[in-house]
Amino acid sequence: MNNYLIVASMIFCIGALGVIIRKNLIVVFMSLELMFNAANLGFVAVSDHLNLISGDIFVIFVMVVAAAEAAIALGIAIAFYREKGTVDIDMANELKN
Amino acid sequence: MEALFYVFSFIAIFSALMVVTMRNPLTSALYLVLCFFALAGFYVMLDMQFIAAMQILVYAGAIMVLIVLVIMLLNISRIKNMKSDLHQKIIGILISLILFIEIIFYIINGAQKRPSGIFTHALIKKIGNTQVIGEFLFTAYMLPFEIASILLFVAIIGAYLFAKKKF
């Protein structure tokens, strides 16, 4: 189980890195999906180790939430692009002052 | 089995790194699909074939098609000059490195629980993992299942409202 958890934590940290350093809104969403997937791998590995089934059920709900999140987020991306003409997240500064 | 684990983990981590570092968003989307397939391989190795199929159908199928469609719709490869500055990179790498060290510390030093459930590999193989998941999903986890349907409905309406011309 430890090996799976180490791989999952590596993928999670790479996803977090992408969320922090990238400026393209779409790539930030993709890094977010990476983090979701790392969490899923952790759930499946732990529930495999503990001989439980609830982690596998939870993975399905995480997938539902990820699908809903992707639809909403890409809707926001389209609205943002229509407003600004770019998907650079530094241009989202309406709340700045 | 051991060798397969290392192959899959190498593919997954390499393609995750490529997702973060590639300049063209379409390239990183394709690497993300590769990462999803490697993770599906992990699920097959953990005897959860249903989750692996869901991973490929929902993530690599539905969500990635949505993302690639939006990339093509917005014609992002034309947009340039989105380089992150050096401070942001240094701070990001530091944060994720520290997070990684903390998680590894926790994984290695944490107390491990003994297996407590009854669903061993042999039992799941005997019943069939799709049937086990289906039984639990429609009996013990009925309420979250219904709430998930409401969430998807709200997401449909929200996506429509956001992508509409005027609010």
Instruction: Reply yes or no on whether the pLDDT at B80 is more than 80.
Output: no
By C-alpha distance, the chain A residue nearest B28 is A27
d(CA B140, CA A70): 28
**Contact list, A30 vs chain B (CB under 8 Å):** 19, 25, 28-29, 32, 67
Find the CB nearest A44 among B43, B141, B163: B43
Least confident of A46-50, B119-123, B157-161: B119-123
CB contact under 8 A, B151 and A24: no
Q: A-chain residues within 8 Å CB-CB of B2?
A: none
Measure B11 CA to nearest chain A CA, in Å. Answer: 11
- Tell me the domain boundaries of chain B: 1-79, 120-167
Q: What pLDDT digit, counting tens, does each position of B97-110 carry?
A: 999 999 999 888 87
Of the pLDDT bands very low, low, confident and very high (cuts 50, 70, 90), residue B114 is confident
The pLDDT of residue B97: 93
- ipTM of model: 0.91
Provide the percentage of residues in chain B whose pLDDT is more than 90: 40
Locate all alpha helices (DSSP H) within chain B, ordered by sequence. 2-21, 25-45, 49-54, 64-74, 86-109, 121-127, 129-138, 142-163
B93/A21 Cβ within 8 A:
yes
The pLDDT score that the predictor gives to residue B41 is 92
CA distances from B117 to A43, A52, B82, B125 (A): 15, 5, 50, 15
What DSSP designation does A97 have?
A: -
Q: Is the pLDDT reported for residue B167 higher than 60?
A: no
User: In the prediction, which pLDDT does B166 show?
Assistant: 65
- The predicted-structure confidence for B20-64, as pLDDT tens digits, reads as follows 988 888 888 999 999 999 999 999 998 889 999 999 999 888 899
The list of chain A residues with pLDDT below 70 reads 97
What are the tens digits of pLDDT across the range B84-99? 688 888 998 999 999 9
- Exposure pattern of A57-81 as b/e (b: 16+ CB <10 Å)? bbbbbebbebbbbbbbbbbbbbbbb
Fold of B1-79: Four Helix Bundle (Hemerythrin (Met), subunit A) (1.20.120)
Average pLDDT of B108-128? 80
Contact between B70 and A26 using a beta-carbon 8 Å cutoff: yes
Contacts of B112 in chain A (CB under 8 A): 1
Helical pair B142-163 and B129-138, crossing angle rounded to 10 deg: 90
Q: Give all domains of chain A, ordered by start, each with its CATH number.
A: 2-89 (1.10.287.3510)
* Contacts B67 to A, Cβ<8 Å: 26, 29-30, 70, 74
Q: Is the predicted pLDDT of residue B76 greater than 70, yes or no?
A: no
